[in-house]
Structure 1
């Protein structure tokens, strides 16, 4: 075994008595990777709870979703209102028609175990905002109201997405305010929501540091920038473990930009440091010799022209039978591919077994 991956509970990733440590005692080169999906989920959950205004927003959102979905009658009312809304928009030419278009949907709940659910929850409310508003208003006036988780991605692309995400967040922090406020103004205008004057003093100040600031300053600095800073801090703190060194070193096989990252010295040091039992001294000499020919040969072969990932490179080495010409490099690439990015799909499979293993 050369790669092990699961979530970050202390009994799993503990340095001395955790499952990964016990495996490591038996297999010194079975490197542990804390599931990227779990780390992203923990990051987003922390960001959604760490800033009070954002926590209040998601709490309100969950209250709305729970209230509407907890009753089949309320759910039917929402669905009927949304169908009427779609029909009116189609008649007015505001929506295009076609096969599978304009399907009715329902509000989505933000879950604690799937990081994409927060986006789906917000998106569903935006899409159904008019119908939801009408439903709640109808219930207030006419009825009793007593209670108001890519399956396939390789290590290098995962690290690249992480870097891009941090860069995009920083771009939003520095230059994204104007675009955001324009979208908010458009949304408020569409749904008859009174938007506060951004140049007016912020009237809900509860702390001395908030006295005398404008609405724009509060929403931009105290909410938007605070959320982004919290998110960036969480990403930095949750993606600093020792396994990242192994993952970063594996970037030497990144085929993008004509194998710009490929260096013979890095390849040999990678094998020597992390997989010494898989490469004898003779194998290391062969690996060094193969590195001298590998990139030149790949550049001349048009079958590798559009290779974009390590898994794709491995597949094409087999298809072109070059794996037999570069056996040491092929072996090292296979070892890199044993390192897991995420174990979320596996855990969902185990969760589904609970449905099968029931009395039903």
Structure 2
């Protein structure tokens, strides 16, 4: 991600590393798009370093995305802009996955090591989305469970 940083006229720019990063997004970049991205990166970096003064004082990738959208370069270099957007959401996506694993560590401890997958998923949803569940009253939850059919069969 640091290879897209516009500080010092893209001093950290490394096309090979950016292509490797794009390769991780198989659903976004197929073989043809990867080839086109390589060409777009080459032409974009030449343009950004030499032709447009708007890229001179940028402080980060967020500023790069804003400038690209503002002067409509997101249409000219659409794949470069897509790669910039994906790098911006990478932090949020990583944080949410880490939060889910830390919640799972709290819920599935030694005492509950044999918890079934369905029950574990239910517990994790309640833990991760606790802000949503905080808005629901306990009476509404109890009423819903009381209206449910019994899950265990009587022998």
TM-score by structure 1 length? 0.26
Q: Which has the larger radius of gyration?
A: 1
| Structure 2 Cα separation of the partners of residues 264 and 253 of structure 1 | 9
**Aligned mates of 1:340, 1:265 — CA distance in 2:** 21
Question: 1:201-240 to 2 correspondence within 5 Å?
Answer: none
Shift of 1:277: 2.1
User: Are 1:265 and 2:22 counterparts?
Assistant: no
Equivalent in the alignment of 1:290: 40
* Partner of residue 350 from structure 1, selected from 128, 131, 134: 131
How far did residue 276 of structure 1 move? 1.8
Structure 1 residue runs of 5 or longer lacking an equivalent are 1-249
Which stretches in structure 2 are left out of the alignment for 5+ residues? 100-127, 139-155
CA distance in 1, matches of 2:137, 2:47: 53
Root-mean-square deviation (Å): 2.5
1:323–1:357 CA distance, 2 compared to 1 (3 A): same
| CA-CA distance at 1:357 after TM superposition | 6.1
Provide the C-alpha distance between the structure 1 equivalents of 2:137 and 2:88, rounded to a whole number of angstroms. 33
Cα deviation 1:16-70 (Å, max 9, x = unaligned): xxxxxxxxxxxxxxxxxxxxxxxxxxxxxxxxxxxxxxxxxxxxxxxxxxxxxxx
Q: Give the 4+ runs in structure 1 shifted more than 6 A.
A: none
Alignment of 1:168-179 (within 5 A): none
* 1:133-153 Cα distance to aligned partner (Å, 9 max, x none): xxxxxxxxxxxxxxxxxxxxx
Q: Which residue of 2 aligns with 1:302?
A: 53
Larger helix percent? 2
Correspondent of 1:324 among 75, 78, 87: 75
Partner residue, 1:277: 27
Higher relative contact order (Cα pairs below 8 Å, separated by 6+ residues): 1
Counterparts of 1:350 and 1:254, CA distance in 2? 35
Aligned position for 2:5: 254
Cα deviation, 1:172-196, whole Å, max 9, x if unaligned, reads xxxxxxxxxxxxxxxxxxxxxxxxx
Q: Distance in 1 between matches of 2:26 and 2:3?
A: 18
Deviation at 1:269, TM superposition (A): 1.6
Distance in 2 (CA, whole Å) between partners of 1:335 and 1:295 is 18
Contact in 1 for aligned 2:9/2:55 (Cα 8 Å): no
- Asked if 1:338 is matched to 2:89, the reply is yes
The 3 A distance-change label for structure 1 pair 316 and 281 is: same
Q: By how many angstroms is 1:297 displaced?
A: 0.6
